[in-house]
Structure 1
């Protein structure tokens, strides 16, 4: 049986990679331009291997029906015949590696039921607040941030003439620096303001925001979703 390649050893241009890893994140990459009606671009995800390395995967829209039922967040797989494509010209992708693994028509996905138990089901690489201005570039790399929620704004229209709604929130880090986040559309609407405010009366509320992009010194949500809330008693 042909051995698998570690994520850290893959190089751009390899056409028939075979990897062993867990899918720790999975989402639909959507074109949010209203002209395209929230059309699917691809099914994307994050792999985590035994060495703790991460890499993004992407299933092009034309292969959606072929693979959407074969991938499940949290499961471990051996994935064969994927191509390592250069991400330098890509927008709205993670930069864990200088490549992303793109599925092809002959890609094979084998679900593992026992192997891979030691691979964690979650891993995040948090971006420090001071690095955010460096991330406000045209390619809009996806980022993960964490902080204590210190303010939650209303879910309202962006302006008097706009048809789009958002919600502004603020988080604070250990250095007492604050960062504003803008959650557009369903991300702002589904943000549970009532629960957050209730928990904040009992203790601090720590939130993780995954898949956000930096715009100037603010965030604009893109596939933004709250992965976990945790309230911690103040000592």
Structure 2
């Protein structure tokens, strides 16, 4: 019986026999239900370089798992082929292989260099942007390792879990590695070996934080360093420097720092930090000829239009804030009345639930129609700001009343 290529398989074609290599294998876990096993999943590749996702359901996983190893080649028969319609697809293929109780697998004992030992679907920056909060496909990325964060432990869904942040130089996209994936990096390797280190991170999902794209690992995520493939060689050859230092960072995150009787206190670390780094989160009411809504500016956008970092502004305002914490700095007030061209990030809360707090991802044009905001202008717009605050409080009160009424109805 001749082998069927992965491009030739279909739901209508029975008794196919494929010869494939298991590239990657992982347990799919139901984190919402006590971390129960859902399935054993794999990515397979044939001699044509075609990738396909294969899955073995929970009740059969314990039978087939001992027979399968990453990197090995197998002949597989009597499997099901179904359309790949779900989310979190690790490869681009309209079909998916499903093992059943009569599926037969036979390990190929010799060497066969015609079947690739590794294969990825690397996403460029445009693809990454298009997949933000779209979990149809998982995303593979490649780049020079810039830094490694320390492993942290945080509580999520009532469980302690590990996380580690790394960053790749290309487009400087931060990647958060969760659970066991955080431990796929050997710290000593980077300390004792010279770079550059070209890192491949597979099967991530794309999110945003403060207007920047970020990647987050999944159960399917694997890490590879300086793999012997053309894509890695091409990136390494672009860097003529002999050694790249991989920066080691303290645990990342945004813990709240409180001033307790003149002493800084971090509730998350249960410690007294030596210093705290201020950051921006500015909520602004904006309008054009069609209506008004609310935008949220974080550090990059806020710094661009205020021309000061949050740290600089905090130091300038220190004495004033001691008198009244509610005073809005004049540097922020001066943006009132100016017109800007904003690029926004819309997430599911905006698109699905109609929330109107839109995150500004970039300011494309500064002060399209500049209005000189001297001190008299600031005072002129102070009334507008007070009206916005009153409207915000009123909206919160109405929303609260609606929720209370719903509870009464239920």
- The TM tier, using the shorter chain, reads 0.7 to 0.9
CA contact (8 A) 1:140 1:214 kept: no
In structure 1, C-alpha distance between the alignment counterparts of 2:11 and 2:133, rounded to whole Å: 22
Match of 1:185 in 2: 179
Match of 1:44 in 2: 41
CA apart distance, 1:37: 3.0
User: Against the structure 1 CA distance between its residues 221 and 4, is the aligned structure 2 distance closer, same or farther, given a 3 Å change threshold?
Assistant: same
Choose which of 126, 131, 136 in structure 2 pairs with 1:130.
Answer: 126
Larger Rg: 2
Q: TM-score, normalised by structure 1?
A: 0.83
Match of 2:189 in 1: 195
User: How large is the RMSD of aligned CA atoms in angstroms?
Assistant: 2.7
CA apart distance, 1:197: 4.7
C-alpha distance after superposition, 1:129-183 (max 9, x if no partner): 221021234434222211011122232245899944422211022xxx2111011
CA apart distance, 1:209: 0.9
Match of 2:28 in 1: 29
* Residues 113-124 of structure 1 mapped to structure 2, 5 A cutoff: 113-114=109-110, 116-124=112-120
In structure 2, C-alpha distance between the alignment counterparts of 1:115 and 1:187, rounded to whole Å: 30
Say whether residues 1:18 and 2:21 are aligned partners.
no
Match of 1:225 in 2: 222
CA apart distance, 1:15: 5.4
Choose which of 137, 143, 154 in structure 2 pairs with 1:141.
Answer: 137
Give the total of aligned pairs: 226
CA contact (8 A) 2:54 2:98 kept: yes
In structure 2, C-alpha distance between the alignment counterparts of 1:117 and 1:157, rounded to whole Å: 42
CA contact (8 A) 1:57 1:103 kept: yes
C-alpha distance after superposition, 1:58-102 (max 9, x if no partner): 1111111221122121121111111111112x1222233111100
SS at structure 2 position matched to 1:123 = coil
Q: Which has a greater percent of helix?
A: 2
Q: 5+ residue gaps in structure 1?
A: none
Q: TM-score, normalised by structure 2?
A: 0.50
SS at structure 1 position matched to 2:222 = strand
C-alpha distance after superposition, 1:169-213 (max 9, x if no partner): 11022xxx21110111222245334533554xx332211112212
In structure 1, C-alpha distance between the alignment counterparts of 2:117 and 2:195, rounded to whole Å: 27
CA apart distance, 1:13: 5.6
In structure 1, C-alpha distance between the alignment counterparts of 2:10 and 2:73, rounded to whole Å: 22
In structure 2, C-alpha distance between the alignment counterparts of 1:92 and 1:148, rounded to whole Å: 25
Q: 5+ residue gaps in structure 2?
A: 241-410
In structure 1, C-alpha distance between the alignment counterparts of 2:34 and 2:14, rounded to whole Å: 33
By relative contact order (CA 8 Å, sep 6+), the higher-ranking structure is 1
Match of 2:7 in 1: 8
